[in-house]
Chains A and B, each alone.
Chain A
Amino acid sequence: MSETRLMKGNEAIGEAAIIAGCRYYFGYPITPQTELMEYMAKRMPQIKGVFLQAESEIAAINMVYGAAGAGARVMTSSSSPGISLKAEGISYCAGAELPCVIVNIMRGGPGLGSIQPAQADYFQATKGGGHGDYRNIVLAPNSVQEMADLTILSFDLADKYRNPVMLLGDGALGQMMEPVNLEEKSLVPQKKPWAANGLGERTKPNVINSLYLKPEQLEAHNIHLQNKYQNILKQECRWEELSVEDAELIVVAYGITSRIARSAIEMAKRDGLKVGLFRPISLWPFPSERLLTLAKQTRAFLVTELSAGQMIEDVRLATGQMKPVHFYGRMGGMMPSSREIYNQINLIMREKEAVK
């Protein structure tokens, strides 16, 4: 039986991770994700799991590397500056093909920035962050319920592809309370015959490593990784759409911004405007193919983000020069109101009317 509870997004991630079988959490506090860490500090001892506050973010991600290498379901979380510190370790996890879940509850940047909600880490999350040719699977929830659901999915995808998965939220999603339904059953993670957890029945020891000194071997490893990424690209694109079929303008937004955009779209629809919403749920792999299809039937796009414009590059790559791609963003922890986005929609639609 599941019960509807009122939870903060940060707490919902914690409980969902436990449901997914995560028994190891390593982290270092930072606003606005600290409630997740606090939740794990309370819950892990109750279920005989491990909660450890590391001496730094760098230590925490390397503890994740160790636990993942031993086959455990493991998670770490932080907010923007802390994720930068973890970048080296994430690259190591990607190189050694270690399944793990990394949560980034984004705040304003660059530098120490602010503690308010932002989406300025899109490039870092989807294009790398650490060194080398690697990809994280990146999932972007837009409600407390999805914070929970996508956390469980993150663990499953991490194991399925032996790949780091980043759950990308923001300060508003982390701090806000909403109703959430949590399955009370605990998932049993699948067996990991590759894990370095004792020889057991095997005759050859498993080795967890990202070092290949012979370039031929490293290239072969890279080709293997790239094939895996291609497979993920084919299998794991996720998105949500609303009223796109006859839309003359499609707003593209993810996470918290998609909700504000949705309210703005409802306002525009009441004026009789044909506006739809496209919300990428997986930021990598990015649902490019679907956007290309939509580009053929709509007249323009409006990308809106809590950044100077990062996801817009993927929208442009997906749709080429087919249709104009407009942008509206706020930065530094500022959030647009639905009326602001509504005004942008109106502006674009009026221009369209003029050239018709």
Chain B
Amino acid sequence: MTHEMILAGFGGQGVMVMGQLLTYAGMLEGAHVSWIPSYGPEMRGGTANCSVIISQEPIGSPIVTEATAVVAMNLPSFEKFESSLSSGGILVLNSSLIDRQSKRDDIRTYNVPANEIANSLGDARMANMVALGALNAALGYIVGTSQIMEAFKKIFAKKPGIVAPNELAILAGAKHVIG
């Protein structure tokens, strides 16, 4: 199974680190993984996105064009990448900022009020972690939450204080999807 994912939002929403955590966790699981940012000239407040691949096979192009999953953290990302999803794919929408629904009936959509959930946990900046938890759960846990947290501790080694609240955010995102 090859998971080809696009994670998108506006600059500052933490989509790059969301992708890196997922990639790192996949690596810890022993899978083939790749992460690549869109590094084109982007306007301030515009969209930022990264491609993440987690696969049992060696990875060809790291740039995802036919995605098995898309996370859209804001409306421009939804509009840009909804069509990149292949049939049967998974769309995680940050319904806190996207008031539209996908018109596609060949995909599974999860509306996750990531900002509201993060806010209720005490920090809106954790909306990306809520979305990450939701995505991972929607995909049937392609990586373990404990692997994500191990990756988190590596990447944020200098900020041990933020580990626990972010874990709660990931779990809350997953819970929203699983119910």
Contacts and interface: CB of A to CB of B under 8 A. Distances in A.
Contacts of A339: 66
B168 interface: no
A153 interface: no
Interface of A: 4, 6, 31-32, 115-116, 171-172, 175-179, 256, 259-264, 266, 335, 337-339
Interface of B: 20, 23-24, 27, 33-37, 39-41, 57-63, 65-66
Given A115-B41, A176-B36, A177-B20, A4 B27 contact: yes
B23 A171 contact: no
What is the predominant secondary structure among interface residues of chain B facing chain A?
A: loop
A104 B156 CA distance: 31
Contact of A266 (B37, B57, B65): B57
26 contacts: A6-B20, A6-B24, A31-B39, A115-B39, A115-B40, A171-B39, A172-B36, A172-B62, A172-B63, A175-B36, A175-B37, A176-B34, A176-B62, A177-B20, A177-B23, A178-B33, A178-B34, A178-B59, A178-B62, A256-B61, A260-B60, A261-B60, A263-B61, A335-B61, A337-B66, A338-B61
Given A176-B36, A337-B65, 8 more contacts: A6-B33, A172-B36, A172-B61, A176-B62, A177-B20, A177-B34, A262-B60, A263-B60
A6 B23 contact: yes
A262 B35 contact: no
Contacts of B60: 259-264, 338
A172 B59 CA distance: 13
A104 to B, nearest CB: 17
A176 B50 CA distance: 10
Contacts of B24: 6
Contacts of B65: 337
B35 A177 contact: yes
A266 to B, nearest CB: 7
Nearest to B19: A177
B39 to A, nearest CB: 5
Contacts of A337: 61, 65-66
Interface centre among A115, A176, A263, A266 (most CB of B within 10 A): A176
A259 B35 CA distance: 15
A175 B60 CA distance: 15
A176 B39 contact: no
Contacts of A6: 20, 23-24, 27, 33, 35
B143 to A, nearest CB: 13
Contacts of A260: 60-61
A335 B39 contact: no
Contacts of B41: 115
Nearest to A259: B60
Contacts of B57: 266
